Amino acid sequence: MMKGPESKSERGFRWALPSISILGLIILMQLPYRISFLDNLLPFLPMAAVYYWGIFKPNLLPVSAVFFLGLLQDILSGGPLGMMALLLILVRLFVIQQGRRFLEREFLFSWLVFIIVALIFGLATWAISSIYIREPQYIWDALGQSMLTIAIFPAIVWGLGLFRLMLVAEKR
């Protein structure tokens, strides 16, 4: 499911596609959906995208881009400045430390590792937010966001897979 042609070079604006896709997901997360339960349960879409691009195109998603995208999410959401920047960098670092070949093997394996990453990510947002607010917050909200992110991970992989196809330059 996650395999595809990766050997061809990227040309033109295509080098920015991973960052653009994450920017799009950040904007998508900030839209007013006007659904009562969704404001507590919106999935961590940019985190899933950083995980995905960290496996397949880490060279096109430099740590500086991850930092500024995370910072932008913090600014637009009104959350603690630096929280998402820090956590997204750590997700990218984890994926790269594991090595592409390790995670690229099978979709199911990648998904299983993602479950652990998403749960730790949810716990970390809960911990940082609680410290920032100086009052322990309701942990199940963050874990609920993690669960939803895990559940829709295949859909995110499919969507970003379409983006990845655009990265393959035509033979000239």
Partner 1 sequence: MKELKHRFSSGFFIVLALALLIFGSNNTSFVNAVRGQITDFFVPILSVASRPLQAVDDLIDWTQQVAIVFSENKRLLAENAQLKQAQITSSQLAIDNQRLKRLLNVGEGQVNIIAAARVVSDSESPFFKSVLINRGTDDGVLKGQAIINEDGIVGRIINAGSSSSRVLLATDINSHIPIKLASSGINMILEGDNSPYPKLGFLPIGEEISVGDLILTSGYGMVFPPDLPVGQVLEITEEGIKIKLSAKLYNLNYVSIVGYEIIRSSVTRRDDRSSKGKK
Contact 96, 60 (CB under 8 A): no
Q: How many residues bind partner 1 (CB under 8 A)?
A: 53
Closest CA to 84 of 110, 135, 49: 49
Q: C-alpha dihedral over 54, 26, 119, 109, to 10 degrees?
A: -40
User: Which CB, 1 or 30, lies closer to partner 1?
Assistant: 30
77 binds partner 1 (CB under 8 A): yes
**Going residue by residue from 95 to 114, which x/- string records binding to partner 1, judged by CB under 8 A?**
-x------------------
Contact 49, 96 (CB under 8 A): no
Residues near partner 1 (CB under 8 A): 27-36, 38-42, 62-64, 66-67, 70-72, 75-83, 85-86, 89-90, 92-93, 96, 125-126, 128-130, 132-133, 135, 137-138, 141-142, 144-145
